[in-house]
Amino acid sequence: MAYDDLRDWIKALDRAGELKRIHTEADPILEITEIADRVSKSRDKHGNIGGKALLFENVKGYAGAKLLINQFGSAKRMRMALEVDSLDKIADRIRAFMDVKSPQGFLDKVKMLPMLAEMGKFFPKTVPTGPCKEVIKRDNFSLLDFPILQCWPKDAGRFITLPCVITRDPKTAKRNVGMYRMQIYDGKSTGMHWQRQKVAAEHYRERLRQSMSPQGGSARAAVDIMARSSGGSVLAEGDRPAGRMDVAVAIGTEPALTFSAIVPAPPDVEEFIIAGFLRQKPVELVKCETIDLEVPADAEIILEGYVNLDELRTEGPFGDHTGFYSLEDEYPVFHVTCVTHRNDPIYATTVVGKPPQEDAWMGKAVERIFLPLMKLTIPELVDVNLPIEGVFHNLMIVSIRKSYPGQARKVMNAIWSLGQAMFTKCIVVVDEDIDVHDLADVTLKALNNIDPERDIQFTLGPVDSLDHAARLANYGSKMGIDATRKWSTEGFSRPWPDEIVMDAKTRALVDGKWKALAKELGE
């Protein structure tokens, strides 16, 4: 059964021995980060990395408060969060839905009824009220009432790091749930770091387009405002858009919904539906008090508010998942109009920094679960590996079933056309018989298989906003490496050598002697 809420998830972690309660006083300014960072990089007696989930129950300056961190911080806990013993099971469920063909007749339609009924379970439902409404504060509230972390010494301040940010598409009315860091400016306002390519940023731009007069080039100003924002937040009087956009933030949701906020979902698919699919149970929503949005009924904390369309403010620096500080830039400002929360709310947060951190395991789950969707577009794809040290947008290793010359380059360009995969800085393409998760074998085969001048290609295009090495913000070069075996039809006229492999007869002979040999070898 799906977890009811964050508290139900914490109980499950406790029962499984995956939670440590920390009673020693710890400061949310830097100290909790240092503790969590050490734990996230620790190994258990079996060599598994990630440490335990941590529930801090003695947060300095916040008597009685509880803070949860590292909840997703291992491969095991990521599987627990999604209630499977293998992430491939979720991929198989996605594949089953993709294999459904349009019904051709009455019997086919009847056969589809059970699947349609199952799909109906995934859609969110609105309920009259929920635990997130146990306390409602329209006045006399402060964000600083919560133990929000400052993670790293050069951070611009405290940041909310695990929020589910909810916006609505001004054209379609579909909701989006994204995860964007939020710098605390004061008790009632934060930065809203939705990067230019994120869905919420597009909602913001669409509101700008709708709000601007078509006269005097203002429509173009609306489209370009975010691209121009690094020059400052003051716009020419004729270009100043009017109005605001409602935004809600849920902190401390059940694990499937928190995870859904980071998945690269198509813009037309609400993350509430994805969460319902993952947990096999609909997400219950309640209406906000001061804005026209719905929020998770069982969340620990809800922040209601808006961003003004004519207001940008400096946000950052921030110690990011690349292992470096992302530099300051201009972003919209989120103004809080109401705070609702459960009695004695648990503040859920995370730390990003040099990998491995908690986000590494969330990213690896995305890799496994969404492989079938990549194969839908790139059918020759066999497997994918986004190494944790590549911070998910710096390196992708893919294996393909090669059928024609130049196919590796076709795959590279296909990946660069796929949503968030367009930011991938380096793509290495290998043959299907190479295990992309065996980095030693990939290194051996790839470096042996390439002629650098022939097999490396470069292209220009959008890059991740956090790429500090790019020639321009959000724009730079990407590299693809064709490490597949080369064919004569690709202009390779030399013979390709065989890989060194012992014959089966000799291997079997030594297998029979190995027990005795092992004793002599002291193994």
320 counts as catalytic: yes
- How far is it, in rounded angstroms, from Cα 109 to Cα 107? 5
Exposure b/e, 4-16, CB count within 10 A at least 16 = b: ebbbebbebbeee
Task: Supply φ then ψ for residue 477, to 5 degrees.
Answer: -100, 155
How is residue 102 written in tokens?
Answer: 């349009």
Inter-residue long-range contacts of 113-121, CB under 8 Å, 24+ positions, other chains counted: 121/276, 121/280, 121/281, 121/282
Q: How far is CA 244 from the centre of its chain?
A: 27
Contact 349, 158 (CB under 8 A): no
> One of 239, 320, 455, 467 is an active-site residue; which one?
320
- Tell me the chain's radius of gyration from C-alpha atoms: 25
Beta-strand relationship, 294-296 and 325-326 = unpaired
Residues in a beta bridge with 331: 313
Q: By 3-state DSSP, what share of the chain in percent is helix, strand and coil, each rounded to 5?
A: 35, 25, 40
CA distance to 51, 352, 391, 440, per residue, from 152 (Å)? 20, 10, 18, 33
Alpha carbons within 13 A on the beta-carbon side of 491: 4
CB within 8 Å of 391: residues ≥ 6 apart:
321, 322, 323, 355
Active site residues: 320
